[in-house]
Amino acid sequence: MKLRDIVPWGRSQTEYRSMFNLSDADLGGTLLGCGDGPASFNAEITASGGRVVSVDPIYRFDATQLRGRIEAAYEEVMPQVIARPDEYSWKSIRDPDELGRVRMRAMETFLGDYERGKAQERYIEGALPELPFADERFDLALCSHFLFLYSERVSLEQHLASVRELCRVAKEARIYPLLTLAGEPSPHVDPLRGILNDTGIDTRLVTVEYEFQKGATQMLVARA
C-alpha cells in the first residue's frame, strides 16, 4: 500500500449509530470497526467508556503521515462532491460546506487519539479477508464503506471470504452501504446472500436511519 493511493474519509460516532442502527446495548458490547480509517468512532466510544478496536491497513502509517494525506485527500474529494451534489442526500448534512466541517472534525478527533490508541492496541493494522483476532473476539463487527461499495475492485469470492471472516471474529456483522460508488445496487449482494444462507450464515437486509449517498438506506446483517 502506498500512502498517496489512500483516500481517508472519516465519519463520526453519530453517523455510525445511524448507519448501523446501533442501540445503547450494542455500544455496551465489544465492538470491531473494520476499515474504519480516520473515523472518530473509536475515539468517541472509548472516551465514553466503551470497548472498541479498529482495524485498517492505513494504521501502518504514523499520525504525521496520515495528517498530510488527510489534508491532501480533502482537497481532492470536496471538489468532486461540489460538482455532483445531486448524487447525495442533504438531510442530516445540509450542504458541502457542512460536510467538509463534519468530516474534518471527525478526522481531527481521530488524529488526536491515534497514537494513544495504537499504544493501547485499539488501532491495529490489518485487512479483510484475514483478521488478526480469535474466534468470537467481538460481540459486533461493523464494516463501513468498503465491501459492496468497491464491487468493481473486490470480487464476489473476496466478499464471501470477508463476510465469513467477520462472522468468525464476531457474533454478528453489519455492513453498510450496499451500493457501489456509482450509486447502483452491488451485484454481489444477492449471490452472496444465497451462498451464505445455504452454508450456515444467516443474512438479512435491514433499513437504516442514515442516508448520504442517495439510495444507500440498507445494511446487511450476518450471523453464523
Average pLDDT score, the chain: 96
Q: pLDDT digit string (tens) for 79-90?
A: 999 999 999 999
Reply yes or no on whether the pLDDT at 1 is more than 80: no
Write out pLDDT tens, residues 163-181. 999 999 999 999 999 999 9
Per residue in 110-162, pLDDT tens?
999 999 999 999 999 999 999 999 999 999 999 999 999 999 999 999 999 99
CB 16 within 8 A of CB 37: no
The average pLDDT across 50-75 equals 96
Q: Is the dihedral of CA 120, 121, 124, 128 positive or negative?
A: negative
Residues 50, 220: Cα–Cα separation, whole Å: 24
* φ, ψ (nearest 5 deg) of residue 89: -100, 115
Using omega within 30 degrees of 0 as the cis cutoff, is the peptide bond preceding 132 cis? no
**Placement of cell 485527500 in the chain:** 73
Span 60-72, mean pLDDT?
A: 96
* Cβ-based neighbour number of residue 67 at 10 Å: 18
pLDDT band at 220 (very low <50, low <70, confident <90, very high): very high
pLDDT confidence of 68, banded at 50, 70, 90? Answer: very high
For residues 38 and 107, the answer to whether their CB atoms sit within 8 Å is: yes
At residue 6, the pLDDT reads: 85
Over the stretch 18-52, which tens digit does the pLDDT of each residue have? 999 999 999 999 999 999 999 999 999 999 999 99
pTM of the model: 0.96
pLDDT of residue 74: 94
Confidence category of residue 5, pLDDT binned at 50, 70, 90: confident
pLDDT at 4 over 90: no
CA–CA distance, 40 with 38 (Å, rounded to integer)? 6
